[in-house]
Amino acid sequence: MTAPTLLLLCVLIPLLGGVFLALQGKSPNTRDTISLVTGVALFAAVLGLYPAVLAGESPLLILAEPIKGLPISLQVEPLGLLFATVASGLWILTTIYGMGYMRGNKETHQTRFFLCFAISIAAAMGIAFAGNLFTLFLFYEMLTICTYPLVTHKGNEDARRGGRIYLGILMFTSIGFLLFATLWTYNLAGTLDFRAGGILQDHVTPTTALILLTLFAFGTGKAALMPFHRWLPAAMVAPTPVSALLHAVAVVKAGVFTILKVTIYIFGIDLIAETGAGEIALWVATFTLTVASLVALTKNNLKARLAYSTIGQLSYVVVGAMLANAAGIIGATMQIAMHAMGKITLFFCAGAIYVATHKTDISDMRGLGYKMPFTFAAFFIGSISIIGLPPMGGSWAKWHLLLGSIEATQWIIVGALLLSSLLNIAYLIPVAARAFYMTPEQKAAPGPIAEAPMLCVVPLCITASGTLLLFIFGDALNHLVTLIPLRAELP
Amino acid sequence: MSNQLPAIVLLLTLLAAPLCSMMRNGDHAWKLAVSSAWLSVVAAFALLQQVWGGYEISYHMGGWPPPWGIEVRIDELSALVLVLVTLFGSIVLSALRESLRPIMRSHRHSLYYTTFLLCMASLIGITITGDAFNVFVFLEISSLSTYALIARGRDRRALTASFRYLIMGTIGATFILIAIGFIYMVTGTLNMADLAERLPAHADNRVVQASFAFFTIGIALKVAVFPLHYWLPNSYTYAPKATTAFLAATATKVSLYVMIRFVFDVYGIEFSFQQMQLGLLLVPLSIAGFLIASLTAVFQNDVKRLLAWSSVAQLSYMVLGLGLLNIDGLTASITHMFNHAMIKAGLFLALAAMIYRVESSKLSDLAGIGRTMPYTTAAFVILGLGLIGVPLTAGFVSKWYLISAALEKDWLWLAVLLIASSLMAVVYIGKIIDAAYFKPVSASHAQVKEVPPIILIPCWTFALLTIYFGIDTRLSAGLAGRVAQTLLGVGS
Amino acid sequence: MFTGLFNYWVVIIIMMSGLYVVMSSSNLIKKIIGLNIFQTAVFILFISMGKISGGTAPILAEGITAYSNPLPHVLILTAIVVGVATTALGLAIAVRVHEAYGSVDEIEIAAIDAADFDQETPAKPAEDTTS
């Protein structure tokens, strides 16, 4: 199969899977089989794109051309491929986990749930492989809209309020800022293609570049820069598999991925470095990553704490992008993969705890570690990775980010990154520590092991070991990341 | 046969109208009306296919050559408007029978279809004629039938709304008549192509300038350019539901077409925009129009009125596109004319379906309708997204061109205002979606059922077309781009 | 000046009187009458412009060289028909208004509508400024 066909398949497989799901809704077993087969097929299709990318090609596929000069096109490049691999790979695990969770919790409307889920993944694939900013914007909006029913899945007052905030902020920022910035870029550069070295060179003054990049940074509401971060905690009303995949991997990563794409392929890091266009976004991101960690400390609800942790971790990516040097970009890209793996582990754990014990507050989890040893061990491993300590994958990302900020001689940011890591320790480690080292309030006899269903526990063990593997095989990842063309090749 | 098409497309509906009026049985009349309307759609597409690529058809009525005889002239722009009127009109007409049932006894239906067909025929006539006086006559026929259509609304306020529209409309049309009289005085011809050739020589003539002023005011009334939009909200609010869908889709759009024809072709760009500075008039008015109308729409509690105000805002976008006077702007205008016709017709039709069951269009009465009438509401949401201009819907394409046009002029502030107005659209459509899905169903409306397929299918046709024209824009934006180039006289 | 363009002065005067009646009277019937006067002015305008002093009807005959232009006159026949139709429709609506409201006075009708509105939704401000 040629690479363009594979590209198309990457978007079509989840969509078709979704349609089959909708048609086959009656029997849960058939439905789950379809989900799983779709997930594996998608992952295979994404992997099938590697040979071409490693050979340095970037296949292109034009789907339609609704506006002259602005086709809807798909194109592979290393950054997008990495994002697609992470999202599709973790989708398989989430599907397995979702079966356990949804059945364990006896949720309603499961067919709608899996259908929207499949469409969301298709949109994430579209974002990953978007050939120009216009296509990216299309899929970005599609992702917002089709994750909305997932957020409001429970259908109660809480879910609706969460959904309203979710849709409100994401739509407002994307139409108000992102669309505007996109149009402006098109007007300045005459194209929206993603090109190595950027398309805005020679078209902007430093002030315009500063305004434009700031618009992009805030416009990408999914990157959850403060003050547009409120949607992420609000979206935590969703069932945990949704929070896990979408709000730790697909949706939020789509946001920071967009920012990375824009810095690398629209502005070009040289332009940003020369004009200082990233200044505002850089400092807002630094502020966000510090403050979000502080807020996370105050949260007792586990998912809320994880949500604020995500906000903080996303800002690492933005910081990396705005540093506008090679180390920063590498760190940012790795952070996408590493954080995805780590955070999905933590969310899986939170869900597993909920399924097994119906507990959501951290203060209630004392001594739970003996009942659910695998879950909490995985939680501990995931935490280490998020904090960025060896021997977990997260350390590579943090390492490169620190290198990048030293290279840019931004000492305040070096300090902020270190401080934030300390705060990470302060809010993540106690969760596992309480579970293992503190006795529960009621002196119940230490019962037998009562883990969540196997379908929940196995995926989270896999992702936990994944963070370890990412550390060991960090080099392979590094190789892929260095393939990202940061500058236009000299003719 | 195929070279008689320009006459056929008009005559189909024009002849079906009196036939309908003679039928006592409403159902038979409906069948006749629907079949003639759909045949005219076929003819319209055949004509579009003939002119596709920038050709023109000139048809001489009765074999008299212009400028003595009446000429029918069809180019790509008129073919597009022709498709707009016939296609959207026919879709609405297909749903009309069912939604008329509650408001009048069935033996009266045939007269209503007659009026509807007359309106459609006259709109077709305006579109294809190449004779300035014919434009006036058809404009009056369409207006008269429109007044009658509106007056049949259930609420007695429909009568006052219709009367008010009659007064305003007649003054507007008479102004146009005066304008036509003036240019006839100067040039001695009524053929539009002939006029276009002769007028530039008289550009400094006061009579021609006065005629331009009369024409602009008259047609602005018909297009509902702010602040001459006064008649529109009430007319749309109180007219029978499905009729509003037809009027919102076609009447103002055809008036806009006349405006484009006269301003760009007959008077000529140089005269209109450089000598008479039309841009200075249209741009500020339309900006004020879309801001005020969008803002007013946000505060409405009646969905019909909300959509009517949104129409005023959207019409302002189209007029703004004209006023900007660049290719993107004009493309945006023409594309939006087509797209908005489709979207608004769909929205009003979906709303008509809701009113058909709920018997009210107040937001509070539509609470929870997403659960009782899921399919209608889903179509409404898709169309609503189109109205906002969400990507992959038709509305996005036209907004994109419009904002590009503003940026091309380096008017960043205008781009910001346009986006602000789109955000207001998010708010007012959001209000409806919020009520439909997130408010509990009130006890009195708990028994509401989905509408019959004969209404549902037209709604969904519009919804699917909205998505289709968001992806494949050869017919809308592609054609509009070519037309814009021709009208502005650059490249081709 | 005045005598040479006498017809056009008349047109302007009649037209303005008609418009004034439309705007100033609140009675629907009077509005229709005003509209009629206004349209009549336009008819005179058209007829005047087709007339050539000394010209006759455009029928070929011995010894006549100046003909009036018949086209404006023909056009205005059409316009008169349109005007009659408008008047008829306007009056018909006025009749219906009278049936529905018991009045043909715009101000009274507005008052009735406002009263209706207050009953439907108490404690809410006016619907919007245009109604």
**Average pLDDT rounded to a whole number, residues A243-272:** 84
Residue of B nearest to A184 (CA): B407
Residue B425 neighbours by CB under 8 Å, 6+ apart? B294, B297, B310, B313, B387, B388, B389
pLDDT value at residue A1: 65
CA distance A68 to chain B (A): 8
Instruction: Over range A246-274, report the average pLDDT.
Output: 84
Chain A closest-CA separation from residue B456 CA (Å) = 21
Q: Indicate if the pLDDT at residue B256 is higher than 90.
A: yes
B316 pLDDT band, cuts 50/70/90, is very high
Please list, in sequence order, all residues whose beta carbon lies within 8 angstroms of the beta carbon of residue A448, skipping any fewer than 6 positions away. Answer: none
Cβ of C78 under 8 Å from any chain B Cβ?
yes
Taking residues A32-54, what's their average pLDDT? 84
For residue C69, pLDDT over 60 is answered with yes
Number of domains chain B contains: 1
Average pLDDT over residues B131-155: 90
Q: CB distance from C67 to chain B under 8 Å?
A: no
Interface test with chain C among B119, B140, B170, B299, by most C beta carbons within 10 Å = B170
CA–CA min distance C1, chain B (Å): 17
The answer to the question of residue A89 being in a domain is yes
| A392-412 average pLDDT score | 84
More confident residue, B84 or B276: B84
CA dist list (Å): C3 to A203, A396, B181, C6, C44: 67, 98, 21, 5, 16
The percent of residues in chain B predicted with pLDDT above 70, rounded, is 99
Is B438–A175 a contact, with Cβ atoms under 8 angstroms apart? no
CA distance A473 to A479: 10
Domains of chain A: total: 1
The mean per-residue pLDDT over the stretch A306-313 comes to 87
Contact criterion met (CB < 8 Å) for A176 and B412: no
In this structure, are residues B470 and B386 in contact, taking their beta carbons and an 8 Å threshold? yes
Is the bond leading into B67 cis (omega within 30 degrees of zero)? yes
d(CA B195, CA B187) in angstroms, rounded, equals 7
Question: Would residue B65 count as lying in a domain?
Answer: no
Who among B392, B408, B422 is closest to A138 (CB)?
B392
B340 in a structural domain: yes
Q: In chain B, which residues have their Cβ closer than 8 Å to the Cβ of C78?
A: 133, 137
Residues of B in contact with A175 (CB under 8 A): 388, 419, 422-423, 426
Subunits that touch chain C (at least 3 Cβ pairs < 8 angstroms)? B
The pLDDT assigned to A448 comes to 61
Q: Which of C90, C109, C130 sits opposite B230 (nearest CB)?
A: C130
CB contact under 8 A, B477 and A137: no
CA distances from B99 to B96, B105, B354 (A): 5, 12, 10
Q: Which residues pair with B131 in a beta bridge?
A: B191
Residue numbers in B near A208 (CB within 8 A): none
Confidence of residue C128 (pLDDT cuts 50, 70, 90): very low
Confidence at residue A131, expressed as pLDDT on a 0 to 100 scale: 85
Report yes or no on B411 lying in a domain: yes
CA distance B10 to A368: 80
Give the pLDDT mean for A123-141.
88
What pLDDT does C123 receive? 40
Most B CBs within 10 A among C86, C95, C113, hence the mutation to make, goes to C86
Is residue A487 situated within a structural domain?
Answer: no
Mean pLDDT of chain C: 81
Percent of chain A past pLDDT 90, that is, above it, reads 0
CA distance B15 to chain C (A): 19
Quick one: pLDDT at residue A442?
57
Q: Is B354 part of a structural domain of the chain?
A: yes
Confidence of residue C130 (pLDDT cuts 50, 70, 90): very low
- Count contacts between A and B (CB, < 8 Å): 62
Cα B171-B177-B182 angle, rounded to 5 deg = 125
pLDDT of residue A106: 64
Give the tens place of pLDDT for each residue, B354-394. 888 887 888 888 888 887 888 888 899 999 999 988 888 88
Q: Which chains share 3+ C-beta pairs under 8 angstroms with B? A: A, C
d(CA B446, CA B435): 15
Distance CA C48, CA C42 (A): 10
Please check whether residue B29 lies inside any domain of the structure: no
Tell me phi and psi for residue A65, to 5 degrees: -135, 80
Distance from CA of B409 to the nearest CA of C (A): 34
Check B163 against C38: CB less than 8 A apart.
no
| pLDDT tier for residue B344 given thresholds of 50, 70 and 90 | very high
Does C52 or A140 have the greater pLDDT score? A140
Residue type, B136: F
At residue A172 the predicted structure's pLDDT band, cuts being 50, 70 and 90, is: confident
pLDDT greater than 70 at residue B250: yes
User: Residue B156: which of C86, C101, C128 has the nearest Cβ?
Assistant: C101
Chain A closest-CA separation from residue B230 CA (Å): 30
- Across the interface, of B137, B141, B151, the residue whose CB is closest to C96 is B151
Mutation to test the B interface, candidates C29, C37, C93, most B Cβ within 10 Å: C93
* Closest CA of chain B from C71, distance in Å: 10
pLDDT number for residue C8: 86
Which helix (H) or strand (E) segment holds residue B49: the answer is helix B26-51
Task: Specify the pTM.
Answer: 0.85
Contact residues on chain B for C130, CB-CB shorter than 8 A: 230, 233-234
Whether residue C80 lies within 8 A of chain B, CB to CB, comes out as no
Q: How far is the C-alpha of B481 from the C-alpha of B492, rounded, in Å? A: 10
**Which amino acid does the sequence have at B19?**
L
Has residue B216 been placed in a domain? no
Range of lowest pLDDT (A99-108, A452-461, C41-50): A99-108
Mind listing the pLDDT tens digit for each residue in B33-72? 999 999 999 999 999 998 888 888 888 887 888 777 888 8
**Which of the four pLDDT bands, split at 50, 70 and 90, describes residue A381?**
confident
Q: What is the mean pLDDT of residues C74-94?
A: 91
* Interface touch A160/B470, C-beta < 8 Å: no
Is the minimum CB–CB distance between C75 and chain B shorter than 8 Å?
Answer: yes
Chain A neighbours (≥3 Cβ pairs under 8 A) are B
Inform me whether the pLDDT recorded for B446 exceeds 80.
Answer: no
In a domain, A242, yes or no: yes
Distance CA B147, CA B137 (A): 15
Cross-chain Cβ contact B159/C82 below 8 Å: no
Which of left, alpha, beta for A310 (phi over 0: left; psi -120 to 50: alpha)? alpha
One-letter amino acid at B247 equals L
Please name the amino acid found at residue A450.
A
* B157 chain-C contacts, CB cut-off 8 A: 113
Residue A64: strand, helix, or coil: strand
All residues of chain B having their beta carbon less than 8 Å from the beta carbon of residue A164 are: 434, 438
pLDDT in tens, B198-246: 888 888 888 899 999 999 999 999 998 888 888 888 888 888 888 888 9
Give the pLDDT confidence score for residue C119 in this predicted structure: 67
pLDDT given for residue A165 in this prediction: 86
Band (pLDDT 50/70/90 cuts) for residue C124 is: very low
**CB-closest option in B140, B148, B184 to C82:** B140
Kindly tell me the sign of the dihedral angle through the C-alpha atoms of A138, A143, A144, A148.
positive
Q: Is residue B350 part of a domain?
A: yes
Mean pLDDT of A103-110: 66
8 Å CB contact of A67 and B401: yes
Q: How far is it, in rounded angstroms, from Cα B123 to Cα B134?
A: 11
* Cross-chain CB nearest to C49 (options B177, B181, B300): B181
Which range marks the domain in which residue A176 is found?
3-482
Mean pLDDT confidence for B99-113: 79
Please name the residue ranges forming H helices in B261-326: 269, 278-298, 303-324
pLDDT in tens, A312-322: 888 888 888 88
Domains of chain C: residue spans and CATH: 6-120 (1.10.287.3510)
Residue C127, pLDDT > 50, answer no
Residue B386 lies in a domain: yes
Of A64, A167, A180, the CB nearest to B472: A64
pLDDT at position B70, please? 84
Question: What's the domain range around B352?
Answer: 299-492
From the list A66, A160, A179, which residue is nearest B438 (CB)?
Answer: A160
The Cα of C62 is separated from the nearest Cα of chain B by a number of Å equal to 25
C42–B contact, CB cutoff 8 A: yes
Check A176 against B408: CB less than 8 A apart.
no
What pLDDT score was predicted for residue B145?
92
How far is residue A426's CA from residue A434's CA, in Å, rounded to a whole number?
A: 12
* Alpha-carbon span A76 to A86, nearest angstrom: 15
C97/B160 touch (CB, cutoff 8 Å), yes or no: yes
Are the beta carbons of C93 and B162 separated by less than 8 Å?
yes
Chain A residues within 8 A of B415 when measuring between CB atoms: 180, 183-184
Chain A residues contacting B via beta carbons under 8 Å: 64-68, 72, 137-138, 141-142, 145, 160, 164, 167-168, 171-172, 175-176, 179-180, 183-184, 186-187
Residues of B with Cβ-Cβ distance to C127 under 8 angstroms: 302, 305
User: Is position A276 within any domain?
Assistant: yes
- Whether the CB of C29 is below 8 Å from some CB of chain B: the reply is no
Question: Is the pLDDT higher at B43 or at B474?
Answer: B43
A 10 A CB-CB count for A59 gives: 19
Closest residue in chain C to residue B143, using alpha carbons only? C86
C125, pLDDT greater than 70 = no
Among residues B74, B9, B45, which one has the least CA distance to residue B483?
Answer: B74
Query: Residue B144: pLDDT above 90?
Result: yes
Chains C and A in direct contact, meaning 3 or more beta-carbon pairs closer than 8 angstroms:
no
Count of beta carbons in the 10 Å neighbourhood of residue A442: 7
Interface test with A, best of B404, B472, B482 (most A CBs within 10 A): B404
Question: Could you give the 3-state DSSP secondary structure of residue A73?
Answer: strand
